[in-house]
Amino acid sequence: MATDQTSTAAAAATAASDTDPFHVEPPTPWQLMGRRAGAHMGFWIGGTFVLICALVAIFAPVIAPFDPLAQDLTRRLVPPVWDEKGTWTHPFGTDKFGRDYLSRLIHGGQISLGIGFLSALIAAVIGSILGMMGGYFGGRVDAVVMYLVNAKLSLPGLLVSLALVAVFGGSFIVLVLVLAFLFWDNYAVALRSVTMQIRAQDFVAAAEAIGASRRRIILSEILPNLMNQVIVILTLEIALAILIEATLSFLGLGIKPPTPSWGVLVAEGREQMFFNPYLITIPGVTIFLVAIAINMMGDGIRDITAPEGRN
């Protein structure tokens, strides 16, 4: 009797959608995301700029017109091209050792963007694992995770990073690891609470009911629902990591000169800044534009994947 009723109802529904001329299929979530992405100017502008910068950084040796370390003392402090005495040979001029500033900026981008991306990625892996464990298992595991987060939060991050770089030296790897240590907690905090919400939903209970292993539940039921959060935090943290790397290098406890990073360029330009301001304006504006583009892209990804999280 009951089955009869349901099947009739289902048949009626199909018939209605077949015959109803005004019936429109509701858009799928992917189509909705596509529409939001298409209309999001910030995402496209920021994303395009970030993509161009990433490509330039990856292909730095091919694109850079000069060797970033090659000194030419006959061509010291050539001003950039928009200055009267500037030349197109050195569009951004040269520094006090006659090194081509554009080439140093491009190679510096490789290091700054590389450190920013890798450190945010490692932080994402560590922080996500901790956050998911805390949120999924709750109880003591959660208490340990929150305790670690609290301890990390109460440490003065910049001072600790400076000390760690002073102890272990300012190499690429050390900076990546130090910054990863500085940034993992945001993922842990965010993913912990989202995991708690997801864990309480019916599809997780269903997976548990059919006897799925914890590993399977975490990896294939919970993780896919967290990925957009991870990507949003990741983009914003890349911007922050780039700023902190520049800060450390600027203070002399980051990438060691003559290797260029954007922070190193500002630090080197500082002694000349009263006479040749372009030496600090060029790398500074570059850091600013890249950070803003990454932020626009990150905000865009959040608006597109989870419009309800917008503020």
Partner 1 sequence: MPNTSGPAEVRGLQPDGIDHSPRATAVLSYFVNRLTVAVLVAITVSIFAFSLLRLSGDLAAELAGDDATAAEIAEVAKSYGLDRPFHIQYLDWAGSALQGDLGVSIFSNEPVFDVITQALPVTLQLATYSLILSIVIAIPLGVLAAVKQNTWFDRGALVFAVSGQAIPNFWLGLMFILLFGVMLGWLPISGQDSWVHFILPTLTIGLSAMPVKMRLTRAGMIEVLQSDYIRTARAKGLNPNIVLFKHALRNAVLPVVSVTMVTFGRLLGGTVVVESIFALNGLGFEALQAITRQDFPVVQSVVAFVAFVYIGLTLLSDLINAQLDPRIRLS
Query: Where on the chain is the footprint of partner 1 (CB under 8 A)?
Result: 138, 146-147, 150-151, 153-160, 162-164, 166-168, 200-202, 204-205, 208, 239, 243, 246-247, 250-253, 266, 270, 273-274, 277, 280-281, 284, 287-288, 291-292, 295-296, 299, 311
- Closest to partner 1 by CB, 72 vs 208, is 208
Instruction: Please say whether the beta carbons of 249 and 178 come within 8 A.
Output: no
- Closest to partner 1 by CB, 66 vs 293, is 293
Name the nearest CA neighbour of 286 among 108, 47, 58. Answer: 108
Q: From the CB of 300, what's the least distance to partner 1, in Å?
A: 12
Q: From the CB of 161, what's the least distance to partner 1, in Å?
A: 10
- Closest to partner 1 by CB, 132 vs 149, is 149
Instruction: Please say whether the beta carbons of 236 and 117 come within 8 A.
Output: no
- Rounded-to-integer distance, Cα 105 and Cα 145, Å: 40
Q: Most distant CA pair in the chain: distance in Å?
A: 97
Q: From the CB of 296, what's the least distance to partner 1, in Å?
A: 7
Establish how many alpha carbons lie within 13 A of residue 147's alpha carbon, considering only the half-sphere containing its beta carbon. 7
Cis peptide before 258 (omega within 30 of 0): yes
Establish how many alpha carbons lie within 13 A of residue 122's alpha carbon, considering only the half-sphere containing its beta carbon. 16
- Closest to partner 1 by CB, 183 vs 250, is 250
- Rounded-to-integer distance, Cα 40 and Cα 300, Å: 7
Q: From the CB of 165, what's the least distance to partner 1, in Å?
A: 9
Q: From the CB of 94, what's the least distance to partner 1, in Å?
A: 20
Q: From the CB of 163, what's the least distance to partner 1, in Å?
A: 5
Tokens of residue 18, six digits: 């077949």
Q: Where are the alpha helices (DSSP H) in 20-66?
A: 29-39, 41-58, 60-63
- Closest to partner 1 by CB, 37 vs 146, is 146
Establish how many alpha carbons lie within 13 A of residue 90's alpha carbon, considering only the half-sphere containing its beta carbon. 25
- Closest to partner 1 by CB, 16 vs 289, is 289
